[in-house]
């Protein structure tokens, strides 16, 4: 029994070390739900794009602060010109920050676009499947000038 008491401190140290390693894994691993929550905290959610997907293309969207000079209608038309053939799904006023290049945040309209799920399928004679991903795009339009800042198109 005396030997077991002496080794309690060693087992406590090993247990604490393993706990710290697991905690670091949970926080810093990109696949971890905790890590995904921490990275997405403070961002604006948009339809069909996750914070992780936007982060992978250097886009961070935060809650808007300020009033736009150009309104959502002009942002929608600018986005439709930037990505022809797509349909507007959602328009959100946000603060845009380039997460890879840094710089200051800009007030912008995030315009979410998508194409019809069966577009181009009727010509090939194939039936669309339920699991087929619909092509999507996000266009960021500057709320002060009305110019397109960034465009990301995700084709399946």
68-123: pLDDT as tens digits: 999 999 999 999 999 998 999 999 999 998 888 877 889 999 999 998 765 544 44
Does residue 126 surpass a pLDDT of 90?
no
CA gap 156, 151 in Å, rounded: 16
Asked whether the whole model's pTM tops 0.75, one would answer no
pLDDT in tens, 27-45: 777 677 777 677 777 788 8
Q: How far is CA 144 from the centre of its chain?
A: 23
83, two tokens: 């990505």
In this structure, the number of other CB atoms found within 10 A of the CB of residue 90 comes to 14
85, two tokens: 């053939």
Distances (CA, A) of 125 to 21, 117, 119, 133: 54, 14, 12, 18
């Amino acid at each position: 029994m005396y030997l077991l008491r002496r080794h309690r401190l060693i087992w406590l140290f090993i247990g604490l070390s393993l706990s710290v390693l697991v905690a670091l894994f949970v926080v810093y691993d990109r696949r971890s739900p905790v890590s995904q929550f921490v990275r997405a905290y403070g961002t604006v959610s948009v339809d069909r794009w996750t914070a992780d997907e936007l982060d992978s293309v250097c886009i961070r969207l935060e809650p808007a602060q300020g009033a736009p000079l150009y309104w959502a209608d002009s942002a929608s038309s600018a986005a439709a010109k930037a990505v022809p053939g797509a349909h507007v799904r959602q328009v959100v006023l946000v603060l845009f920050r380039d997460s890879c290049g840094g710089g200051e945040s800009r007030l912008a309209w995030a315009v979410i676009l998508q194409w019809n799920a069966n577009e181009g399928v009727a010509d090939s004679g194939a039936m669309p499947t339920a699991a087929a991903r619909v092509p999507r795009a996000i266009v960021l339009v500057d709320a002060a000038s009305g110019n397109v800042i960034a465009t990301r198109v995700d084709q399946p």
